Amino acid sequence: MSLRRTAADPGEQAIWQQVEFGSYDADLPLWLELAQAEEGPVLELGAGTGRVAVHLAGHGIPVMALEREPELIAELERHAVDLEASLRIVPADLAEPAEIRLPEEPRLIIAPLHVLQTLDPGVRLALLGALRELVSPGAVLAAALVDESTLLGAGAASSQILPDMREVDGWVYSSEPLWVQVGTDRLKVRRIRERVAPEGERDRVVHDELMHRISPDRLQLEAQDTGFSPSGARAVRSGASEADSVVVLLEAV
C-alpha cells in the first residue's frame, strides 16, 4: 500500500467532489432562504456536481449553474434532464471573468464552499467587477468565506471522525481530513484520498486544497471598489468536525 504525493485521477473529479462535499448540507437552508427572498434567477459560481444547484432547482428555483470542468458539467447535465427548465448550465471559467455569458440576468449570485478563496486576488477582483456588469442595481451577491476563528476546533475534531466515504461500481472511495495549515496568505487543507478496488487493491494519495485567506471586511472593501455595497453577513454552523463559514452579502448599486 503506497502513499504518493500526486494528484488524484482527474477522470474522477466528480466522484471525489461527491465524496468530500456531497453530504454537506449545513449551508443549504441559507441558500434556499436567500433565493426565495429574491424571487428571480440564481447564478451559482463553481457549481461542481450540483450539490447546491440541484437542491435549489428541486424547490422550483430557476438556477444557472456555472462550471468549467467537463466531467462536472456532464454530471450537471444528468441532473438537468430530470429538473427540466429549472436548471441551466453555463460552461465558463471563473478565472476568465470577461468571457462569462449568461442566458438570463440573475437576481442572486451565490458562491458556496469558499469558491472565491480558490481564486488569486487579482482574478477575484476582476470577477467581482465582471459580476457587477452582469446584474442590475439591487441584485445580491452572497459569498461564503472560511470562518477562521473556528479552524482550531475543527482541526482538533478531525482526528476523531471517520473519513468521508462512497462506493461506486464496487470501488470504495474514502477521504480522510488530516489538518489545516494557516499561512500568511493561504490556507492549506490536507486530506488522504484512498481507493479500494473490488479485488481489494488499495491506492492512496495525499491531496492538498489551497485557498487564499480573505476576511469578510476585506471582501467588502474589494466589493465596494467594483460596484457592490455591503449588506450584512450570515453565519453557517457546520458542526464540530468542520470549520464554520461566514456568508458575506453584497448588493449591486
Average pLDDT of the chain to the nearest whole number: 91
pLDDT tens digit string along 58-110?
999 999 999 999 999 999 999 898 887 799 999 999 999 999 999 999 999 99
Whether residue 201 has pLDDT greater than 50: yes
pLDDT tens digit string along 150-176?
886 655 444 556 789 999 999 999 999
Structural domains for the chain:
3-8+150-211 (2.20.25.110), 14-149+215-252 (3.40.50.150)
Give the ranges where the chain is alpha helix by DSSP (H): 13-21, 28-38, 51-58, 70-83, 121-134, 151-158, 216-225
pTM for this model (two decimals):
0.91
Strand residue runs (E) in the chain = 3-4, 42-45, 63-67, 87-91, 108-111, 140-146, 164-168, 171-182, 186-196, 202-212, 228-236, 245-252
Instruction: Determine the average pLDDT of the residues in 216-229.
Output: 97
Instruction: Decide: residue 203, CB within 10 A, 0-12 exposed, 13-18 middle, 19+ buried.
Output: middle
